[in-house]
């Protein structure tokens, strides 16, 4: 089999037999979203490195406290979901996952945007919502292919201008932070779909000046219209 789903309310570890499935491509060990369950697995074992053909690894809603360095050997991994765990950090070896294009880290215990993420040139979807991140490193500019960046429910007081270099961004969610202003170059994120897709950008729950003059003077007319309608609501 190339796809395997392991489920169970009391799931606490990866069955050892799994590591013999060297042709496995998709491994899912997450409860169904609508179930509201949380599994009990605290560790992703080092033996995960044996699954060299994995392209998708789903381990949401467990109790993971750390990710082993061996995760960096999964060179074919394209999608990794680690939301709703107890992670405080990520191993630097994750920077070796150059095929990774979707990474979910929402609702963990991270306090800063991990540096290894900025080495992943193929990343197109990054979700680090609800981690209380306070700063974003300037090295985020290396994520040149990034299309979706979700930063809701964090502690951001400012948005670094380096984010405005991510010209392929189509979706940017910044709701429920502490942002008072935006970089003057924010209007250069021309791929944000202001006119037709409300979900392409989210600022709700921030003490922003509305409309922010430094943005309206640089960006398309849709930006000003968006903020004015947001202010009226």
Q: Residues 152-208: pLDDT tens digits?
A: 999 999 999 999 999 999 999 999 999 988 888 888 888 887 655 556 778 888 898
Q: Is the model's pLDDT at 126 over the cut of 90?
A: yes
CATH of the domain at 188: 3.80.10.10
Separation of CA 78 from chain center: 13
Q: For residue 74, is it within any domain?
A: no
Q: Which of 57-61, 95-99, 195-199 has the lowest mean pLDDT?
A: 195-199
Q: What number of helices (H) and strands (E) belong to the chain?
A: 2, 9
Specify whether the CB–CB gap between 140 and 163 falls below 8 A. yes
Torsion of CA 87, 154, 143, 114, to 10 degrees: -30
> In terms of pLDDT, which residue wins out, 33 or 92?
92
Task: Residue 131: give the domain boundaries.
Answer: 110-232
pLDDT the model gives residue 152: 92
pLDDT the model gives residue 218: 63
Distance CA(100)–CA(77), nearest Å, equals: 6
Q: For residue 165, is it within any domain?
A: yes
Q: Is the model's pLDDT at 31 over the cut of 80?
A: yes
User: Do β-strands 125-127 and 102-104 pair in parallel, antiparallel, or remain unpaired?
Assistant: parallel
Q: For residue 12, is it within any domain?
A: no
- Looking at the structure of the chain, the number of domains it has is 1
Q: For residue 211, is it within any domain?
A: yes
Per the prediction, the chain carries an average pLDDT of 87
Q: For residue 39, is it within any domain?
A: no
Q: Is the model's pLDDT at 71 over the cut of 70?
A: yes
Q: For residue 174, is it within any domain?
A: yes
Q: For residue 55, is it within any domain?
A: no
Q: Which of 30-39, 122-131, 140-149, 185-194 has the lowest mean pLDDT?
A: 30-39
Query: Which positions ≥6 away from 145 have C-beta within 8 Å?
Result: 101, 121, 122, 123, 124, 168
User: Do β-strands 201-202 and 171-173 pair in parallel, antiparallel, or remain unpaired?
Assistant: parallel
- The percentage of residues in the chain with a pLDDT greater than 90, rounded to a whole number, is 57
| Alpha-carbon separation of residue 84 from 19, 102, 131, 217, 227 (angstroms) | 24, 16, 10, 40, 32
- The percentage of residues in the chain with a pLDDT greater than 70, rounded to a whole number, is 87
> In terms of pLDDT, which residue wins out, 4 or 232?
4
Distance CA(20)–CA(182), nearest Å, equals: 50
Name the nearest CA neighbour of 118 among 172, 73, 184, 166: 166
């Amino acid at each position: 089999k190339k796809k395997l789903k392991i489920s169970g309310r009391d799931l606490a570890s990866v069955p050892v037999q799994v590591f013999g499935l060297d042709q496995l491509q998709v491994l899912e060990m997450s409860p169904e979203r609508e179930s509201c369950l949380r599994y009990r697995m605290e560790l992703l074992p080092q033996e995960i490195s044996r699954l060299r053909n994995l392209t998708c690894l789903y381990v949401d809603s467990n109790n993971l406290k750390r990710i082993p360095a061996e995760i960096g050997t999964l060179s074919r991994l394209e999608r990794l979901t680690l939301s709703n765990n107890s992670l405080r950090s990520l191993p630097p070896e994750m920077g070796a996952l150059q095929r990774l294009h979707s990474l979910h880290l929402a609702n963990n215990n991270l306090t800063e945007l991990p540096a290894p993420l900025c080495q992943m040139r193929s990343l197109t979807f990054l979700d680090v919502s609800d981690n209380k991140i306070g700063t974003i490193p300037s090295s985020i500019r290396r994520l040149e292919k990034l299309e979706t960046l979700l930063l809701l429910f964090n502690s951001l007081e400012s948005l670094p201008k380096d984010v405005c270099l991510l010209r392929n961004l189509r979706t940017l969610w910044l709701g429920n932070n502490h942002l008072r202003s935006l970089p003057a170059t924010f209007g250069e994120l021309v791929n944000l779909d202001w006119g037709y897709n409300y979900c392409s950008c989210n600022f709700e729950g921030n003490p922003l000046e509305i409309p922010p003059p430094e943005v309206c003077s640089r960006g398309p007319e849709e930006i000003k219209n968006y903020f004015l309608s947001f202010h009226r609501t």
